[in-house]
Amino acid sequence: MFYKKNYWLVFGGISLLLSGFVFSRNWGREMMTTIQTSSGAFSSIADSGFVSSGEVQETTDEVLEVAVSGLKSTPFWTMKGVAHDFGNLLGYNQAETIMSQYNAWTGAFDPKASYEHLVSLKFPLKYPYFKKYVPENLSELLGLLELNLSPEELKNPNILVVAQTQEGVVLAYYQEGKLRLLTSASPGTPKTKTVQGKFFLKHANVAYRSRTYGSPMPYAMRIKGPYFLHQAEVDGTFLSHGCIRIPGLYQKWLYEHLPNESVQKSSHIPAPMIIVHDLYHPTLFRYD
């Protein structure tokens, strides 16, 4: 009887050890999968928002921080006629969300208030509210808009698209076919419509001023003739004389990161293409 009891004790112990080994091995495989995928594709840890120090997820949206002292040497501060307020930097329809979600702003907020008292401020390169209308891949966006580009046009590494959503006009910048920047835009009014079609952007001047209206146009990039992409008051509606207005920090980033003529020549790449698509009718609807 003693022998039988010990036999079952030994057998049970071995079974328990084997079960533990299998569990440990499977758990180890799961952890190894997480570790292997954390540097590239999504993982369970990355999906939760937890990313180890030093790791950068390819799908993580960029949040940039700018020093306010540095802005005081830019046209945002030095050009006559440019208001020194949150709305001009971030977009009047975007400023409150950006300040509350990315800068821990609490209490009442006025987009026309000055940002002078701040040390720095953060902003998302892709304004999240419009991501329900604009997909991450250029090919998907072209499909939604029923736009066809030639094989040669698709080779352009820098393509911008301006279109109207159900909640305002947006500009989306795709780098190598991936969404890099997304923001509100304000094109021409129905009486002073913006030119539409496909064009190549050309850097004009950091401190450009309209020859017709005398208006400040910081970080101007020529679309065609008198039509420019530049910083000015933006709320996603139709406000301009025909140019496409972009919030200050977004336009500054585009001006500084899109290749100018010198870079185009040295790197043998085409000028950035901008597609201004059927602006006066909503063409982008929620796809999520």
State which amino acid sits at residue 33. Answer: T
Cα separation values, 130 from 42, 174, 217, 220, Å: 22, 15, 25, 24
The whole-number pLDDT of residue 35 equals: 28
Name the H helices within the chain: 2-37, 44-47, 68-71, 75-78, 86-90, 95-102, 138-145, 151-154, 248-257, 261-267
Q: End-to-end alpha-carbon separation of the chain, Å?
A: 68
- Buried (b) or exposed (e) across 128-159, using 16+ Cβ within 10 A? ebbbebbbbebeebbeeeebebeeeeeebebb
- How large is the average pLDDT for residues 153-163? 98
Rounded to an integer, the average pLDDT of 71-93 is: 97
Q: What is the pLDDT of residue 157?
A: 98
Q: Is the pLDDT of residue 53 over 80?
A: no
User: What pTM, to 2 d.p., does this model score?
Assistant: 0.80
In order, the DSSP letters of 265-288 are HHHT-PPPEEEE--TTS--B----
Q: Which residue has the tokens 């950068």?
A: 56
DSSP designation for 128: G
**Which three-class secondary structure state does DSSP give residue 56?**
coil
**Coil/strand/helix, residue 4:** helix
DSSP string, 132-187: GTS-SBHHHHHHHHT----HHHHT-SEEEEEEEETTEEEEEEEETTEEEEEEE-B-
Does the pLDDT of residue 40 top 80, yes or no? no
Structure confidence by residue, pLDDT tens digits, 86-98: 999 999 999 999 9
Q: What is the pLDDT of residue 263?
A: 96
Q: What is the token pair recorded at 175?
A: 């780098």
Enumerate the domain spans of the chain.
63-124, 128-276
Do the beta carbons of residue 229 and residue 243 sit within 8 Å?
A: yes
Read off φ and ψ for residue 278, nearest 5 degrees. Answer: 35, 55
pLDDT per residue as tens digits for the range 198-208: 999 999 999 99
Q: What gap in Å lies between CA 92 and CA 110, rounded to an integer?
A: 9
pLDDT at 30: 36
Average pLDDT, the chain: 84
Could you read off the pLDDT of 206-263 as tens digits, one per residue? 999 998 888 999 999 999 999 999 999 999 999 999 999 999 999 999 999 999 999 9
For 128-276, CATH gives 2.40.440.10
